[in-house]
Structure 1
Amino acid sequence: MQVQIPLTRDLVLIGGGHTHALVLRMWGMKPLPGVRLTLINPTPTAAYSGMLPGLVAGHYPRSALQIDLVKLARHAGARLILGRAEGIDRESRRIRISGRAPVAYDIASIDIGITSDMPGLPGFAEHAVPAKPLDAFADRWEAFVEAVEARRAPPDVAVIGAGVAGVELALAARHRLGDHARVALIERARALSTLGSGARRALLRHLRQANVTLHEAARATEVTEDGVTLADGRLVPARFVIGTAAARAQDWLETTGLALTNGFVRIGPTLQSETDPAIFAAGDIAHMVHAPRPKAGVYAVRQAPILLHNLTVALTEKGRMRRYRPQRDYLKLISTGHRGAVADKWGLPLDGAWLWRWKDRIDRAFMRKFQDLPRMDPPALPDPVASGVAEELGRGKPLCGGCGAKVGQADLRAALADLPAPAREDVLSRPGDDAAVLAHGDGRQVITTDHVRAFVEDPWLLARITAIHAMGDVWSMGARPQAALAQIILPRMSPRLQAETLREIMAAAAETFGAEGADVVGGHTSLGAELTIGFAVTGLTEGEPIRQAGARPGDWLILTKPIGTGVILAAEMAREAPGEVVAAALASMARPQGQAARILAPVAHAMTDVTGFGLAGHLLTILQESGTAARISLAHVPILPGAEDLARAGHGSTLLPANRTVAAHMFLTEGPRADLLFDPQTAGGLLAAIPADQAETVLAALRANGTDAAVIGAVTEGDPFITVED
């Protein structure tokens, strides 16, 4: 019998910098049993700095330099928390994250990168863009190029700081914007002062040939919408100002009590903080006290195997830590904008297109480490096995989480067919109701339960989505959530990890239910094979609840959320869904529907929430309960970004085949978009039948409230049937 290894230690990586990205890649190939690995990063991707000048010059698309942290975390078996760290409580060993519960750690590592903004320069924040962080800079640059191409802005650029980064970006901008561009470099001292004389002369020649104006010994005193003002009063005209002269750490590190140098974490040769051996640091955010070096990606890359080894020693309390000894110098390949480069090492004046090709190969090889993640083969099935085992396992396809793990609608109805009708007078439930209905004084109480098999490793986010999912049945009946009981199954873990995980789950539950005026009043916990979270929820309504029966011919059908979560989650499990697509789906699932329900309830003839049986299955239930038909416009059904492309690529939830059985009651043209009508949703939107004369008003109110609702069709006369128009 295979033993389930309990989780006993928490390792938290703060930031998705190059060092941490490489650690995650190596960890996925040989994970340390018993460790819960967590990555905290504000965005689902991280940009590779070495290819930024190529992006600015137009040689690379944005996707070429993005490390997909969602795929990388799945490869490493790590939970990814999309949030911004804002502090470390070293006494309680918890990391504070904006907008959510703190995360506990036993060992933590910091690799959050730096910023090149200049808060001391008047007007910089309003009118300039720091080159770091890279993602924000890339977004602003592409928007500026688009404005120039549309003739909405002149192609005038100024770069503050004429070091290597500033020169690369100035030459790249000049190449991208063309001969009519005016590009200037501003340096308060001497340009390229850290380079050898040969490389410096070559780069200055490239600046002259590209007509980039260099202002040396010139101090910027203000940035305005017209450009950069210098200390001598001159104005350098610019509509896009780039800051590269500064290298600044994030301010929250000052609150940690860690020893810092100019805001950067002081570390020794083992990459541990001088102050706290439980905290490591790497990359640009670290100041190597034993061997100070300039900020450069080469050091971050070479720190990765040392960091992984030393984290393992700290987590196992076995073995000896290794020392990181950075090289004194390294080969710098500096791009010149036009697919050329200059080399700097040992004073060699190397220059030419062949150096660009060399640099391009190095950069692409680095990115392939994250684009072609090695796959670990699952254990083979024993031989022999009972007939049908391989088919039930989906021939290698993993079982989906969320509502993709539900039993099919037809099988569920068959199982419930012989359930006796309610015998009590105060039980008012009818077939097809989303929740049970109980008499409650002059009003009604509704009660429902739902649970979700984990599809993300973040218990806080899973709890929030599950709470919203569980409240869907209450909202769809026009009731207000009243109270909730939690049902939690934790994977086997140490008592301390149990307590920390439950703390995160209950914090999310209390916040999410509390926002709807409901109380979390207790629940039940147990240990099992995997994380599962559920809630039993009660709600109150003053009058009769809204049921699925009641839709009338002529009603408009309104949907309050886009569909596609099932296919996205299935593709993410297969490491095929882009990180930004997954992040958008999670954000949609984490968006509550209480306000939308309160707008819809006063006028809806029928309403339900779209969950496991897909949009088609839930709509057909309304039609069967109401004795009507419907016509929907596939083009007007809102779809989550990326969902249609993933369906076209052949991805789909394990529940999709069962959901497709309702197609017998439909007329539609087969295709990837049509497949999404059967896609199981987790924490999906509300589907309401609204009188046509009130639909526009209701739709406007929903959109004014921030709900991206859409009219997707209309109820018609006839037997229960759905006609799908392209």
Structure 2
Amino acid sequence: MQPQIPLTRDLVLIGGGHSHALVLRKWAMRPLPGVRLTVINPGPTAPYSGMLPGHIAGHYRQDELEIDLVRLARFAGARLIDGRAVALDPQAKTVTVEGHGVIEYDVASLDIGITTELPQMRGFTDHAIGAKPLDVYAARWRDFLAEAEAKGEAGPVTVIGGGVAGVELAMAMAFALRKAIGKAKVTLIEARDNLTGTGADTRDRLMRALEANDVTLWTGADIAEFTAEGPRLRTGQVIPSALTIGAAGALPQPWLQDTGLPLTDGFVNVGATLLVEGHDDLFAVGDCAHMTHAPRPKAGVYAVRAAPVLHDNLRAVLTGHSLRPYHPQKDYLKLISLGEKSALAEKYGRPWSGPWLWRWKDRIDRKFMSMFHDLPAMDAPAAPTIAALGVAEELGDGQPVCAGCGSKVGPGALSDVLASLPQVDRVDVLTGAGDDAATLDIGGVKQVLTTDHLRAFTEDPALMARITAIHALGDVWSMGAAPQAVLTNVILPRMNDTLQRRTLAEIMRAAGEVFRDAGAEIVGGHSTLGGELTIGFTVTGLAEAPIQQSGGQPGDVLILTRPLGSGTILAAEMQGKANGRDVMRMLQVMAQPQAKAAEILRGAHAMTDVTGFGLAGHLMAICKASGTGAEIALDSLLFYNGALDLAEAGVRSTLYDANFAHAPLVNATGPRGILLHDPQTAGGLLAAVAADQADGLMAKLHEMGIPAARIGHLTDGAPVISCI
């Protein structure tokens, strides 16, 4: 048996820019044993700036210009932290992530790009947006264009900045508006006396292209402030604008000023090896870096060419080997979009233009993105040629065992074992195995007691701890109890003492916040090293009259407080088939506490939380305990984005078959019926409430922003669940 390689070094990539994306892809092909790789990025995707004008013009879908960092991180064996870096301490070797906390590193690299926001200019934050971050601008533009199509008209659009980016975006928006409503009013404002960033011949061609696209060019226009009506010039004239986009140059991320790093005009100084000057454990690449040995303009081509050198030098620092230099080319080919499917090229000041250049640019861009959209399949471990009877059947198609609640023992096996337990006649144990939590009578006070643990489905231990805490609290909330005390159990993968401390600190900080907000206190626990990260919590709560599964009555309305489909999406994410945006949206929902929902539903006749055995299994538990049947309206169910499509495509959690066998349904057809058996992690509360109270409860839930749905009702008769 191969020994488990201990983790001994933390490598943190701050930002999901082009260089880091390429490093991740290369790392996946040859990971370095002993290194825990972390990526920090504000969002699950990283847009490719070269295709942004084409997207704005309508030539590309959003997904065609996005690098899915969730898939890429899974491919590289990295943990992805969804958050914006807001501070870095190079002495303590920490980076602070907004909404997440402090992450420690041994070696780190900055690839956080630039911003085109102008917060220092009066009114910009309220009346304009920057072209970068790209996803914010692209989303705002899609809304603006959709509104224009609906109304048949659009207000004027203004772009600030006459460099290549501003010119491209102005023509792209003008083209899209003409295509959508037949006309466009776009103005490009430049403070200097002419367009910037190109040679004279190219500039002349661009000015003709702007005129052909009906873009009005203002040069020598100094903006005094941004107003609701549009930018106001120093002359007092207001340029009317319903949408104002800032594309005036490359501005550094402002928080770099507080890091103590060596900067030039706000950009991080790096030498030939891409190490930050004066530091042997911190790199910087892409637009956020200033190459002191070879200053170059801000352009993606340099980030792409730097990636192999960065990859090799990261490995060299982590293994104690020599670093190699990066020698950037002196000039590069500029391919400038002209709104329609036409482009202009320039190198060494010489321009070319025409539709053939668009086709060339399109091929280059698509080839680059194909490296991330078409990730090579990694070979699964080979099955043994000789094994005991039954091994092949258990391995099935080789799908890895799901994590989260998808890794639970099947409901049939569990219920059979629980039924065989000896019953002890104790007056202080009011209910034992079978309900969401045991109910104890401690000196006349009713206390509920439950335990739960999860195999990690994300490499982010803080997020995993938060979701596991909420998952464990679900049993207490579903019984109408107030959380009281918590014991923690953590299994860490093999790692050195430093990484143990870092990981436990992240876990306990995140879990502590959840339990503290719920009114509970962590009072102790246990930890050990093992094969993989597993987090568990034992929770107690207090309740005057605990809500049990046995209180349901025929006619009760069934309310579910969360969407379904987490097990299928998690299974798909493990297989590299899930959309990263869908995964992150789902994790954000799972990480939200359910205390408010539990408080609103405290008068329910019966309640449970929907977890590993799926909606069907947990509803069946209520039906059996209450002596009722149930009817579910399939069209009323809510699902996480992407879950229905994945179920339709045949993606299943490894617990699906056991759940299906344990709680058969009548008329459960299509992907909606399939997902009734999907194991949920940190799933919603399922409440059976009096029919005359349902509308009022639903109104209160929606007022609190809880995505609850009225999904059916309990019926007379045998414990059978029918779907309509």
TM tier, smaller: over 0.9
Instruction: Quote the Cα distance in structure 1 between the aligned partners of 2:674 and 2:156.
Output: 48
Contact 1:163 1:191 in 2 (8 A): no
**TM-fit CA distance, 1:190:** 3.4
The residue type equivalent to 2:264 in the other structure is: T
Per mean C-alpha deviation after superposition, the further-off stretch among 692-701 and 522-531 is 692-701
1:409 to 408, 411, 414: 411
**TM-fit CA distance, 1:108:** 0.7
CA separation of 1:514 and 1:41: change in aligned 2, threshold 3 A: same
**TM-fit CA distance, 1:380:** 1.5
Aligned-partner SS, 1:115: coil
Match of 2:557 in 1: 556
The residue type equivalent to 1:473 in the other structure is: D
Per mean C-alpha deviation after superposition, the further-off stretch among 166-175 and 373-382 is 373-382
Match of 1:570 in 2: 571
Match of 1:598 in 2: 599
Instruction: Quote the Cα distance in structure 2 between the aligned partners of 1:572 and 1:210.
Output: 43
| Count of paired positions | 721
Contact 2:698 2:709 in 1 (8 A): yes
1:694 is the counterpart of 2:696: no
Instruction: Quote the Cα distance in structure 2 between the aligned partners of 1:126 and 1:152.
Output: 26
Contact 1:29 1:374 in 2 (8 A): no
Contact 1:155 1:177 in 2 (8 A): no
Aligned-partner SS, 2:550: coil
**TM-fit CA distance, 1:394:** 3.1
Instruction: Quote the Cα distance in structure 2 between the aligned partners of 1:83 and 1:174.
Output: 34
Instruction: Quote the Cα distance in structure 2 between the aligned partners of 1:711 and 1:382.
Output: 49
**TM-fit CA distance, 1:153:** 5.7
Match of 1:202 in 2: 205
Instruction: Quote the Cα distance in structure 2 between the aligned partners of 1:233 and 1:358.
Output: 44
Aligned positions of 1:477-492 closer than 5 A: 477-492=479-494
Match of 2:85 in 1: 85
**TM-fit CA distance, 1:472:** 1.0
CA separation of 1:154 and 1:226: change in aligned 2, threshold 3 A: farther
Per mean C-alpha deviation after superposition, the further-off stretch among 655-664 and 192-201 is 192-201
CA offsets per residue over residues 459-505 of structure 1, 9 Å max, x none? Answer: 11111111111111111111111111111111000111011111111
Aligned-partner SS, 1:237: coil
The residue type equivalent to 1:419 in the other structure is: L
Per mean C-alpha deviation after superposition, the further-off stretch among 97-106 and 219-228 is 219-228
Aligned positions of 1:5-154 closer than 5 A: 5-151=5-151, 154=154
Contact 1:466 1:533 in 2 (8 A): yes
The residue type equivalent to 2:711 in the other structure is: I
Aligned positions of 1:238-637 closer than 5 A: 238-318=241-321, 320-430=322-432, 432-541=434-543, 543-601=544-602, 603-637=603-637
Per mean C-alpha deviation after superposition, the further-off stretch among 684-693 and 175-184 is 175-184
Aligned-partner SS, 1:96: strand
**TM-fit CA distance, 1:614:** 0.2
Instruction: Quote the Cα distance in structure 2 between the aligned partners of 1:662 and 1:384.
Output: 32
**TM-fit CA distance, 1:549:** 0.2
Per mean C-alpha deviation after superposition, the further-off stretch among 38-47 and 374-383 is 374-383
The residue type equivalent to 2:493 in the other structure is: P
Contact 1:443 1:544 in 2 (8 A): no
CA offsets per residue over residues 277-309 of structure 1, 9 Å max, x none? Answer: 211111111111111111100011011001001
Instruction: Quote the Cα distance in structure 1 between the aligned partners of 2:401 and 2:593.
Output: 26
Contact 1:270 1:323 in 2 (8 A): yes
Contact 1:422 1:429 in 2 (8 A): no
**TM-fit CA distance, 1:349:** 2.8
1:227 to 215, 227, 230: 230
Instruction: Quote the Cα distance in structure 2 between the aligned partners of 1:350 and 1:66.
Output: 28
Contact 1:155 1:180 in 2 (8 A): no
**TM-fit CA distance, 1:383:** 2.2
CA offsets per residue over residues 403-428 of structure 1, 9 Å max, x none? Answer: 00001111111122211113222111
Match of 2:705 in 1: 706
Instruction: Quote the Cα distance in structure 2 between the aligned partners of 1:697 and 1:346.
Output: 70
Per mean C-alpha deviation after superposition, the further-off stretch among 401-410 and 89-98 is 89-98
**TM-fit CA distance, 1:84:** 1.3
**TM-fit CA distance, 1:669:** 3.8
2:184 to 164, 181, 191: 181
CA separation of 1:422 and 1:597: change in aligned 2, threshold 3 A: farther
Contact 1:101 1:460 in 2 (8 A): no
Instruction: Quote the Cα distance in structure 1 between the aligned partners of 2:616 and 2:65.
Output: 39
With the length of structure 1 as denominator, give the TM-score of the two structures. 0.97
Instruction: Quote the Cα distance in structure 1 between the aligned partners of 2:556 and 2:607.
Output: 12
Instruction: Quote the Cα distance in structure 2 between the aligned partners of 1:336 and 1:674.
Output: 49
Question: Cα RMSD between the aligned structures?
Answer: 1.3
Per mean C-alpha deviation after superposition, the further-off stretch among 178-187 and 76-85 is 178-187
The residue type equivalent to 1:578 in the other structure is: N
Instruction: Quote the Cα distance in structure 2 between the aligned partners of 1:229 and 1:516.
Output: 50
Contact 1:9 1:34 in 2 (8 A): yes
Contact 1:118 1:246 in 2 (8 A): no
CA offsets per residue over residues 237-296 of structure 1, 9 Å max, x none? Answer: 221111111322222212211111122111111111113221111111111111111110
Aligned-partner SS, 1:586: helix
The residue type equivalent to 1:533 in the other structure is: I
**TM-fit CA distance, 1:441:** 2.1
Aligned-partner SS, 2:239: strand
Contact 1:550 1:626 in 2 (8 A): yes
CA separation of 1:701 and 1:441: change in aligned 2, threshold 3 A: farther
Aligned-partner SS, 1:349: strand
**TM-fit CA distance, 1:388:** 2.1
Instruction: Quote the Cα distance in structure 1 between the aligned partners of 2:396 and 2:95.
Output: 39
Aligned-partner SS, 2:401: coil
**TM-fit CA distance, 1:229:** 2.3
Instruction: Quote the Cα distance in structure 1 between the aligned partners of 2:436 and 2:119.
Output: 54
With the length of structure 2 as denominator, give the TM-score of the two structures. 0.98
The residue type equivalent to 1:399 in the other structure is: V
Instruction: Quote the Cα distance in structure 2 between the aligned partners of 1:518 and 1:613.
Output: 27
Contact 1:174 1:210 in 2 (8 A): yes
Contact 2:89 2:259 in 1 (8 A): yes
What runs of 5+ residues in structure 1 fail to find an aligned partner?
none
CA separation of 1:537 and 1:430: change in aligned 2, threshold 3 A: closer
**TM-fit CA distance, 1:120:** 3.0
Instruction: Quote the Cα distance in structure 1 between the aligned partners of 2:641 and 2:424.
Output: 44
**TM-fit CA distance, 1:91:** 3.1
CA offsets per residue over residues 581-612 of structure 1, 9 Å max, x none? Answer: 101111121111112112211x2111111000
**TM-fit CA distance, 1:230:** 2.2
CA separation of 1:313 and 1:190: change in aligned 2, threshold 3 A: same
**TM-fit CA distance, 1:449:** 0.7
**TM-fit CA distance, 1:155:** 4.2
The residue type equivalent to 1:251 in the other structure is: P
Instruction: Quote the Cα distance in structure 1 between the aligned partners of 2:68 and 2:546.
Output: 45
Contact 1:196 1:345 in 2 (8 A): no
The residue type equivalent to 2:536 in the other structure is: G
Aligned-partner SS, 2:297: coil
Percent of aligned pairs sharing the same letter: 57
The residue type equivalent to 2:557 in the other structure is: W
Contact 2:418 2:433 in 1 (8 A): no
